[in-house]
Chain A
Amino acid sequence: MSNNRDQALIDRCRRGDRRALETLLGHYERPVYNAAYRIVGNCEDAADVTQVVFLKAFEHLDRYNSKFKFFSWIYRIAINESINHINRNKNQQPLGEQEIVDNRGPEDFVGAGDLSDMLQSCLLELQEDYRAVVVLRHFSECSYLEISDILHIPEKTVKSRLYSARQLMKDKLKNHFKGSSNF
């Protein structure tokens, strides 16, 4: 979606046009939901996060700076809100369980049909800042520059986090595929 089109829709939203809001939501609801799901790890929480993301975005539409792409802004809110959600949940868990995000290891996934679940499980074992760059690069298909804009970190940091995250993912998957031709 072009930034010009987004900007026109935002201008209409600012004037109270709900059709413009529906159009923007139609374009970004699924990508935001998917990004949130990949970070928080379950559908229910991803839906909660998505709702909060859009509420915050439209509540603070006056803070949106049109010099930047709308999708960068909404993704930034989505990533931050997803990480906040995880941290809130961690704080609510009893001591001793706080480090466990998903207690299934790669060895729990055996069939080809479980490949996606296994990938998700490995992803959830990464620390949040690594997880965020992987999600933005591989699921949201953002470029280094876009990730840099979204996370407000230098491109150099994007690359180093991404390379490290991939290496960790590769190692986790290798453990699972020990003895097979993959990895």
Chain B
Amino acid sequence: MLEQHIIELINADIDGELGLDGRKELSSILESSPEAAVFHKELIELNDMFRNAPVLESPPALAGSILASIQLPVRRGFFDFFQFLGGSKPATAGLAFAAGLLVAVGLYETESSRGASDQDTVKMVGTMVGDGKFKAAGQEIQLSLDLDELNGKVTLFRGESGDMLEFELDSKGEVVEIEIDFEKAGLLVSGFAQHGGAKASLIETLKLSGGNMRLVNQGRHHFVIFLRQQPGTKEPGKDIRIGISRDGERVYESTRDSWR
């Protein structure tokens, strides 16, 4: 009769759960105990029988039948604005959200070196913490994206009292997650606006956590993020990190050199 410890070692070996020390110990036991060697061989044979058992194909109509019977929630645009606004949520915005106004909270006025038709933020809707004005006051830098999942550009405008990051992207119908890290750049988010034109799709989720903003969207993206400079920051724009993920896998990560 084999000791319980030996039975456990042999079973663990069959299951691939034995460490190096265990394997050494088992090897020595198998050399010295014919009974253990027979038991080990029998379990290997049993394991082989399981391994050789065929994997069955499910009935061809099953997947269709399952899909037809499952109801998913209705797709809708959704802004997680409470999280987005965090502690700096103004009372008026809070009231607006409480009243169920999720998107069309306010319009933005912008003045910049570029023509209004380029930025077109007047037609954007969203919310903003601050005075709602943007005055360009410096060189813009740009990041171009040309991926299988997403193409377009991200432009950072320097302003008098803050920066504005404009996204004009197209994910070609794929759902992509865009993560923007402002922390290293020493910037704080002060507002967000989304283009309300027919060509743009509404962002489905938007979350702000510390210096990190995460958006999930499908289709065309045209939105701007307003940023407040931390005192003492000179040229933080290139330190903004942008990551793109699809199905949970990171497909792009910007670096300082990505900005032009």
User: What is A's interface to B at a CB cutoff of 8 Å?
Assistant: 2, 4-9, 11-18, 20-23, 25-26, 29-30, 33-34, 37, 43, 46-47, 50-51, 54-55, 58-59, 115-116, 119-120, 134, 137-139, 143-144, 159, 162-163, 166, 169-170, 173, 182-183
B59 at the interface (CB under 8 A from A): yes
Whether B53 pairs with A55 at a CB distance below 8 angstroms is no
Chain B contacts with A in 50-72, Cβ cutoff 8 A: 50-59, 62-63, 65-67, 69-70, 72
Q: Are A183 and B42 in contact (CB under 8 A)?
A: yes
In the complex, A140→B62 CA distance in Å? Answer: 20
Classify the secondary structure of A's interface with B. helix
29 residue pairs A–B, Cβ–Cβ below 8 Å: A2-B248, A2-B249, A5-B248, A6-B248, A8-B248, A12-B175, A25-B67, A29-B58, A29-B66, A30-B58, A33-B56, A33-B62, A47-B62, A50-B66, A51-B62, A51-B65, A55-B70, A116-B52, A116-B54, A119-B50, A138-B51, A143-B15, A143-B17, A144-B17, A159-B12, A163-B11, A166-B46, A169-B46, A173-B49
Complex contacts, B70 vs chain A, CB 8 Å: 21, 54-55, 58-59
Contact residues of B between 1 and 29, Cβ < 8 Å to A: 7-8, 11-12, 15, 17
Which B66-110 residues have a C-beta within 8 angstroms of A?
A: 66-67, 69-70, 72-76, 78
Q: Which residues of B contact A (CB under 8 A)?
A: 7-8, 11-12, 15, 17, 42-43, 45-47, 49-59, 62-63, 65-67, 69-70, 72-76, 78, 175, 177, 204-205, 216, 218, 245-249
B218 contacts across to A, CB distance below 8 A: 17
Q: Name the contact of B247 in the complex, choosing from A8, A18, A51, A119 (C-beta under 8 A).
A: A8
CB of B62, distance to nearest CB on chain A (Å): 5
Distance, CA A72 to CA B256, complexed state (A): 40
Of B17, B42, B58, B67, most A-chain CB atoms within 10 Å? B58
Q: List the A side residues contacting B63 at CB < 8 Å.
A: 25-26, 29
Chain B residues in 8 Å Cβ range of A33: 56, 58, 62
What residue in chain B is nearest A6 (Cβ atoms)? B248
In the bound assembly, the distance between CA atoms of A65 and B213 in angstroms comes to: 23
When distances are taken between beta carbons in the complex, the residues of chain A under 8 Å from B56 are 30, 33-34, 37, 43, 46
| Contact (Cβ within 8 A) B67 A22 | yes
B171 → A minimal CB distance (Å):
13
Specify which of B15, B55, B59 lies most central, judged by the most chain A CB atoms within 10 Å of its CB. B15
Question: B53 touching A170 by the CB < 8 A rule?
Answer: no
Q: How far is the CB of A58 from chain B (nearest CB, A)?
A: 5
Instruction: Collect the chain B residues with CB atoms within 8 Å of residue A17's CB.
Output: 72, 75, 175, 218
Q: Which of A51, A58, A116, A162 contacts B53 (CB 8 A)?
A: A116
Across chains A and B, which 4 residue pairs bring their CB atoms closest together, nearest first?
Answer: A8-B248, A4-B248, A16-B75, A138-B50
B216 touches A11 (CB 8 A): yes
- Asked whether, in the complex, the Cβ of B216 is within 8 Å of the Cβ of A14, the reply is no
Query: Are the CB atoms of B75 and A170 closer together than 8 Å?
Result: no
Cβ 8 A contact of A55, one of B66, B78, B205:
B66
Q: Please measure, in the bound complex, the distance between the C-alpha atom of A170 and the C-alpha atom of B49, giving whole angstroms.
A: 11
Q: How far is the CA of A161 from the CA of B59 in the complex (A)?
A: 31
A163 touches B7 (CB 8 A): yes
What's the nearest-Cβ distance from chain B to residue A180, in Å?
A: 11
CB-CB under 8 A from B51, the residues of chain A are 138
Complex-state Cα separation, A168 to B62, whole angstroms: 34
Instruction: Pick from B66, B74, B78, B205 the residue with the most CB of A within 10 Å.
Output: B66
